[in-house]
A and B are shown apart, each in its own frame.
Chain A
Amino acid sequence: MDQGLFLLFAAVAVITALAVVVARNPVHSALALMACFLQVSAIFVLLAAPLLAVIQIFVYVGAIMVLFLFVIMMVDVREATLQRFLPGDNLPAMMLLALLAVEMIALILWSNGFSGTEPALATGRDQIRRLATTLFADYLLPFEAASVILLVALVGAIVLARKEPG
């Protein structure tokens, strides 16, 4: 049951990820990326991480994709849609990608540590409580640093995108 669902979500995620790279129109890329993020959040649910799945939908599908679509509306993408995506015209990059894929897949398949199935995890309502306790007790300083980084990024984005006076 879980394996079938995983295969379904993974197949759709890979197909939509390919569509992100291959699509000529950036709007199509953005919509395919949104579909891919939805599949990944479903995989997070399969991994017994429902909080991360909800955060994934809120942040990626809700915030980041709206940001991308707004920027696509602001800039003129008509000229960019005319250029073709030609795999094969950049041979070193293709070789590097093939090497990367073969290396990582060989590492996963030959290693003994990754072959086992996951242990039965204590799921339930208590899990998110323990996650939050760990986050706010042991990782309070990184949490605060992340919030400061978000604030700085907010101010920086406004300053960067503002029209220069004069």
Chain B
Amino acid sequence: MMVPLAWYLLLGVALFVIGAAGVLLRRNILVVLMSLELMLNSVNINFIAFGRQSNDFRGQIFALFVIAITAAEVAVALGILVALVRNKPTLKVDDVTIMKG
């Protein structure tokens, strides 16, 4: 029994919406970053599922690049977070308004 493609896409939708909820609703910077990871991972599921569906390797290759860029993004984001907490000891997104954003 093969798994239909739509199931994988629905799982991707569920994880993406949960990650978006974390980004939009949580006020903790660390949890916001983790939710971003979740969203990127759900996109990877879609890439690989579509690649399998059309019998093409390029889905896996793009997922590989997404993973590499995610690792770089997390390293830079956590470096910024450490520098930020050193200057202003807070983890709330709303308190970081130095740039008047």
Contacts and interface: CB of A to CB of B under 8 A. Distances in A.
Interface of A: 1-3, 6, 10, 13-14, 17-18, 20-21, 23, 26, 29-30, 33, 36-37, 40, 43-44, 46-49, 51-52, 55-56, 59-60, 63-64, 67-68, 71-72, 74-77, 79-80, 83, 85, 87, 90, 93-94, 96-97, 100-101, 104-105, 108-109, 114-119, 121, 130-131, 134-135, 139, 142, 146-147, 149-150, 152-154, 156-161, 163
Nearest to B56: A134
Q: Which of A26, A116, A163 counts the most B-chain CB atoms under 10 A from its CB? A: A26
For chain B, the bracket of interface size reads: 35 or more
Given A1-B1, A46-B3, A104-B13, 17 more contacts: A10-B7, A17-B38, A20-B31, A21-B22, A44-B45, A68-B34, A93-B21, A94-B25, A101-B13, A104-B17, A108-B13, A116-B4, A118-B3, A131-B60, A134-B61, A156-B79, A157-B78
